[in-house]
Chains A and B, each alone.
Chain A
Amino acid sequence: MSSTLLPEERALDAHVRTNSSKSKRYGFFPGCVAKESCKELFNSTMLLADRLGIELVELTAASCCGASVLNDTNRDVARVLNARTYAQAEALGLDDVITICSTCTGHMRAANKELRESEEHMAQANAILGKFGANYKGSVTVRHLLWLLIDDIGLDKLRSMVVRPLNGLKVAPFYGCHIIRPESVNGWESARHPHSLEDVIVALGGEAVDYAGKTRCCGFHVQLEKDGIASSMVGQNMRMAKDNGAEAVITPCPLCHLALDGYQADAAARWGRTDLPVFHLPQLVAYALGVPAEKLGLNKHLIDPREVMVSRDLIN
């Protein structure tokens, strides 16, 4: 194993020595997109964590979760890559790994389920991890930040922390497939009738918009396979949201964000203009909890959310 310490190893070392902080610590797996084209998601997550008084310890040496695509090339590689990530979390004493992407959530949980339920898979993974001195015992639980907000912070506490309520802003939830389906992997709430995002929207002082598209697919994973396919799926879903009165959309998934924010313009020819601004989950929560709007990277969105925020007296 390399003798150089990772940043999180140094930080935890200091943490243990000084025991200065009493805040709850979580392993943090930001995923690829939050470090590449959706940096505003990463930044607003860290600002939100600060407000919530929790510590997110980033697993900086982690690999991609496999993004649902790696399984198409090999049946084992994504599972073993994720086992390596879990081994890193375990070595740091962090059994709770928090994600901010629906796809990461679903695929990391699927890998973890296979590892924990099959001795054969666990043995295969550890035989490979052993080549570089790592080992996964099976203690890690993968959860999305959305679940943390509701299970660990709680909706009552969240409501009490709101300093800038959303003034009835009509927000349509967009879950992203892999945080709810398949239910055998996620199972934290009903895949057919989830309501966690609605609960958060209401807790922040917004109004949740119901529409059939909220649990449907954004098309991100096939955006390159055939021209126009993702924009059609985006247009169909955003049309439903808009027709039901939505002024904005919230999503816990940066892949959905890229598709919904990016393709509404292309979808207009077939589905009519929708122009719904799309918030990353932590952006809107952080805003309501008092993080200054200009720190949330709202200017990075292709459909600028600031216009609708002005119309609801949320910003000037």
Chain B
Amino acid sequence: MAKIKLDIFRFDEATDSVPHRDEVTVDLPETTTVLDALEYAKAEVDGSISFRRSCRSAICGSCSMSIGGVTSLACKTSCGSAMEEDGSVKIDPMPNFQPMKDLVVHMDPFWDKYARLKPYLQPNDADSAHATERRVSPDDMKKLVDVANCIMCATCYSLCPVVSVDPAFAGPAAIAYAYRFIEDVRDGKRSDRLAQISEDYLWLCAHCYACSYCPKHVDPNDRIVDVKRAAITDRVMMNERGPRHALVVAKTIKQTGMLAETEVIQGTVGRFNIRGLLKVAPLGARMALKGKLPPPFLKPVPKVDEIRTIFDALEAPVR
């Protein structure tokens, strides 16, 4: 047994203007999960401590909270693994959400983004057109099972740095779930779904892999890349900066072997998009003053033909 100091964020939106913290000491082994420690604290010390929980075994997705500064499921995280040197475990509500009471947050923005992608099958034909259920081959289903493991705990959403600065971004979970329907052979709305998720800023994913901390190993990061590739293959919203950027990067690598910074900026923003170019111009001017502008043209690396052979062999698209 050890003394575990639970350092808990306390706030009630109904009565408090600012949050405070309470320290609750519990005598439990370090292997105790944070959820069990909270349950113990609530039962034995302070019945007003509020948090969400249901299944206690990483299936329901209710108990995500920030533990030691990183969002995790309280039922899947031991106190010992998140303990500071002084024996305390810092527990906060999930970031990127408005706190409601203690560790309970308003989940609405997260659910709204789910609802927007119409998370149900939309086949093109009537059920009556099929003599049996709609069948899916094991190979086709294999692509979907990982994403289907998502328990909507919002861990990824709360860790996403893009959501933290731009709430319009769909967030990792919604994009991964869009993939689940986009790649479902029974679904008939692939192009509508790709357009919808592109509008919800699919291309704003910053490639940071913060969502690789998924407690169910859904790895939304890889599915986001899959959806972007599907958008390029189906030529959805190709004039947006996201697809333009990806394809001009590919073009400069094929031409020179290198990612040519100058051409990538022009090709993404648009060579004739004067207003857009003016917006990036101040930084360009500051860099120019420091002799830091990338060269306007790059000399291809030696044996660049080999690089072009690779692109051609894979029929990799370029702009």
Contact = CB atoms under 8 A, between A and B. Distances in A.
Interface of A: 2, 4, 6, 32-33, 35-38, 60-64, 66-77, 80-81, 84, 106, 128, 131-132, 134, 177-178, 181-184, 191-192, 212, 216-217, 219-222, 224-227, 229, 232-233, 236, 262-263, 265-266, 299-302
Given A71-B225, A224-B241, A232 B165 contact: yes
Contact of A61 (B219, B265, B303, B317): B303
A6 to B, nearest CB: 6
B161 A233 contact: yes
Interface string B220-238: 0100010011001000000
Contact of B283 (A80, A225, A236, A266): A266
5 contacts: A64-B253, A128-B309, A192-B69, A192-B70, A217-B210
A67 B249 CA distance: 9
A35 B250 contact: no
Contacts of B144: none
B63 to A, nearest CB: 19
Interface in B148-182: 161-162, 164-166
Contact of B309 (A66, A67, A131, A226): A131
A84 B306 contact: yes
Is chain A's binding surface mostly helix, strand, loop or mixed? Answer: loop
B204 interface: yes
Given A35-B258, A232-B166, A77 B316 contact: yes
Given A63-B258, A212-B69, A233-B165, 12 more contacts: A37-B261, A63-B307, A64-B253, A69-B249, A73-B317, A77-B316, A80-B314, A84-B306, A181-B208, A217-B206, A224-B265, A266-B283
Contacts of B294: 36-37
Interface string B278-317: 0110110011001111110010011101110111011111
B143 to A, nearest CB: 13
B76 to A, nearest CB: 14
Contact of A32 (B70, B258, B280, B311): B258
Contacts of B247: 73
A68 B166 CA distance: 21
B280 A72 contact: no
Given A36-B294, A72-B232, A181 B246 contact: no
B181 to A, nearest CB: 20
A75 B207 contact: no
A76 B312 CA distance: 12
A32 B302 contact: no
Nearest to A59: B301
A301 B316 contact: no
A183 B241 CA distance: 30
A118 B80 CA distance: 37
B209 interface: yes
Given A32-B259, A73-B247, A219-B206, A62 B292 contact: no
Contacts of B207: 68-69, 177-178, 221-222
A225 B204 CA distance: 6
A215 B260 CA distance: 27
A73 B250 contact: yes
A35 B205 CA distance: 26
Contacts, number: 199
A299 B221 contact: no
A177 B210 contact: yes
A72 B221 CA distance: 11
Contact of A181 (B212, B232, B310): B212
A37 B292 contact: yes
B176 to A, nearest CB: 15
A178 B209 contact: yes
B245 interface: yes
A81 B166 contact: no
B257 A63 contact: yes
A20 to B, nearest CB: 25
A190 to B, nearest CB: 11
A2 B302 CA distance: 10
Contact of B206 (A35, A134, A221): A221
Given A229-B162, A229-B204, A299-B290, A70 B261 contact: no
B242 A225 contact: yes
Contacts of B269: 224
Contacts of B313: 80, 128, 131
Contact of A177 (B208, B225, B232, B283): B208
A225 B241 contact: yes
B314 A219 contact: no
B312 to A, nearest CB: 9
Interface string B189-213: 0000000000001011111111011
Contact of A80 (B166, B206, B301, B310): B310
A222 B204 contact: yes
